[in-house]
Amino acid sequence: MNQPPPNPQVSARPLMSKLWQSGIILSAANFLTLAIGYGFQTIVSRQLGGTSGDYGLVLTTIVFIGFLGLPLAIASQAVTHYIARFHFSGDDARLHGMLAGCRKFLLHITIAGSLIAIVLVEPLGHYFNVPRTSLTLIALLCVLTGLWGSYLSVLCQGLGWFKRLALIALLATILRFLFGAITTRIWPVAEWAVAASAVMVLANLVLFFWRKDFPRRTGVVVSPWNSEFAQFLVVSAACVGGGWFFSQGDQLVANKFFSKADIDAYGSAGLLARTLPVISGPLLSVLFTHRSGREHHHDDDLQEQLKLIGLYAFALIFGAAGLFMLKDFALHILGRNTPQAAGMIAPLSITMIFVGLLQALALWALASRWLKISLFYGALGLGYWLTLLFLGKNPVTLLHTMPIFAAIAFGLLFSTWLIAMWRQKPASQS
């Protein structure tokens, strides 16, 4: 007797339930990680003092480190996207071969990224006004350790090991907290606080406890290089670059043009505002991995994914309102409760709401293989950052420019996203 074919909408429900569970667990762990990170910033801020300008240098140097690490971040995004496709397809043999090929590819990218960082760290440090050679060298050390740490962790993300990644992130934050708190108490200079970002990478050694869970080596190595992967790599460059330009690029603008006192105030307010998209960011990571791994999206899938986007948007707005009401308290804990810093919270928070929404739309487009929209996001991010470099020569101008141009960018990207959603036919109707 023939049995009816399985209903894809019903079979998708357990997977969507796991999607929600992973997103909530990872967000909770991320909240704890951010709380410990905020404790690290509080201790370092107080121990570095309020007049040297070193605390502002800590924040902007960390952003400079992220700028130098963009090549591997781009490659990591592309590999995560690609591995996720085969992880959810159920083709284990293909997955094993692809993992072997991606390991080799990431190794080459890591080596190339390290060489690029060594060559460019000095001229870029001079352009963005990193004032001390010792800070530049520490930044290079952090870039190199970060590159090799990412080489280990990116394969885990592609395999959907979100709980393990959350544990590693938590352990890394604890290591950073302990190292930074101890060293800046003995030597209260920015270099030791920045060096904590290199020490935290040691948390990735935990992965060796799970080495048996990695897919076994296969005799057939499947190279990721093909026309499709090349497309993913180009689009990932647009998405990762656009994300950095929107969320972090303004700090290098501030470091280039502002005084030390202004950098301290701007960095402190920015530290609080930038937590808004970060704290609920794991929801987007889970959504991206799941949506990347499915060729077709049924009505139930789409509804649950839109709910995740809605929850993410609500968290951004609710968090911004809470931060505005508690800004004096938060800055007081940080040891930076000045009228100048408090006055920066509102424009920075509004900007980060739009930045977070832009990131959500961009990841949705990338996971959906809407390549033109992803490239458009990257172009908007680059244009946004160049505008800030051109106009943001002082705090007042920069803070007026950021929310306006972030809102314009969101309006443009949201319009294209709506058009793409309207044109897409649900898989259940095809």
Which mean pLDDT values do the consecutive 10-residue runs of the chain (430 residues) have?
46 50 62 80 82 77 85 75 60 61 70 80 83 82 74 61 73 87 88 86 72 59 69 84 92 89 88 86 70 56 77 89 92 87 94 94 83 92 95 94 96 93 61
Closest alpha carbon to 289 in 417, 160, 103: 160
Taking CA 327 as the corner, what is the angle to CA 48 and CA 274, rounded to the nearest 5 degrees? 75
Confidence (pLDDT) at 73: 79
Confidence (pLDDT) at 253: 93
d(CA 362, CA 287): 12
d(CA 266, CA 395): 8
Confidence (pLDDT) at 202: 77
Per domain, the residue ranges of the chain are 14-429
Residue with tokens 């997955």: 95
Confidence (pLDDT) at 28: 67
Burial 181-216 (b: 16+ CB within 10 A, else e): bebbeeebbbbbbbbbbbbbbebbeebeeeeeeebe
Torsion of CA 275, 66, 383, 119, to 10 degrees: 170
Angle between helices 281-292 and 299-325 in degrees, nearest 10: 160
72 and 110 Cβ atoms separated by less than 8 Å: yes
CA separation, residue 328 to residues 61, 268, 332, 346 (Å):
25, 12, 6, 12
Confidence (pLDDT) at 134: 84
